[in-house]
Structure 1
Amino acid sequence: MNAASETAAANRERLVIVEDDPVTRAMISGYFTDQGFRVEEAESVAEARRVVRRVKPELIFLDVVLPDGDGFDLAKELQSFSDAGIIFVTRRDTDIDRIVGLELAGDHYVTKPVNLRDLLARTRSLLRRRKIERDTARRSTTITFGPFMIDLLRRELATVNGDPIRLTRGEFDLLAALVDSNGRPLSRDYLIEVVSNRHGEVDARTVDALVARLRRKLTGAGDPGVIATVSGIGYKLGIFADRNA
């Protein structure tokens, strides 16, 4: 392997597949390898622990039923030493299983038989969202805009007088993206990626509804012009944002 090939291989996103069925494991592994991922496999809880520690993946596909343990319990354990995203891929399809998985640790919950194109779309969406979160976290965490102050690390919004403003996760993520862009228009498609999360599918109407709710909350707290509509594009922050060092 030449230097260019080695660099390309090192830059591939790392994926660990934890699946005890060899046919399913090979199918998913082959598909995602062809899509440019660096794929590692594990067929048990014990092997998954070792592989995740060694590989340090960006993403884990995790079956729930494994020969030596429970995938839900393993997910909680993995989170203690890995910040990888987790997509459950399993035959357990009851509402209770889905809720437990998403509440405990999962970013998505996919049932078998697996639609590989759907799984790939979810994977790319999740990786994009996590990149946005990492990029935001690297910057200064407190930003003042108009009569408001947002703390990106603590995920808190308040007036400059210290009065807290309660936001849902989606509302906070959308507002943080607008504030971080400091007046640059953001498309609805970009904001869909920002607010996509484990609680359901997101589309342009979801973004518009979140903006409407944010406007009501921010207007009630003292400023009606925080979020401006950009015709044919999406939205932007309507006032100056000052990043605190």
Structure 2
Amino acid sequence: MADKHASQGGIFIRLENDKDKIVGAFCGDPYPREVIWTGDGYEPYDEDNPAHKGKRPALKVAINFFVPGDGMKIYEGGTRWFQDLLKVRDKYGLDNWTFEIERKGAKGDTKTKYNLLPEDKIDAALRAEIDAAELHDLAGMMNDGSDSAPSTVSEADVEAFASVLRQMPRSAVEYFLAELGVQRIRDVRAGDADRARELLRELKVKHAPAPSDEVDPFA
């Protein structure tokens, strides 16, 4: 299960802070791609794109990663991490073990590393869960021109959405999250911001307090 400090709730695994970690099983073939940093995120490298001329592409490798209790996710790492993955594959194999990935480095630290160590052997019950899980289409998901983790709404939007939802019953909050396919407000995708606002307008009307019939004696 993901460490309590690791970001959860979406398909992509994010280890954002020092010592964040997650344990799971690698599944299927890795998907390598060359990307270019645009200043706002990564996009697939295109040698025919004039904006990419003179820039050195970086290697990113994505792979399906089954997290017990949380289902099939996607983990993506860089060249150094992929080299470590090949080493543990050659030494242990990837089919019979779960592995722990741990971040070593604070948020924003350019020298951040990711340790990769075997955790436990996969037993029959876990193997059955893994075999029943569907692999994500890495080629389709990673080549949509966006960063490896889809951008989410701003902190200002998160607070604005939360301030409205705090005034509503839990059922309304659960409906809002389910409609947007997320588990937390901060995981709402930037592309769904307008849809989120529309949902809030609908919920405010639905859950508006009934008008009072009491007469104010001081009016």
TM-score by length of 1: 0.29
Structure with bigger helix share is 1
Higher relative contact order (CA 8 A, sep 6+): 2
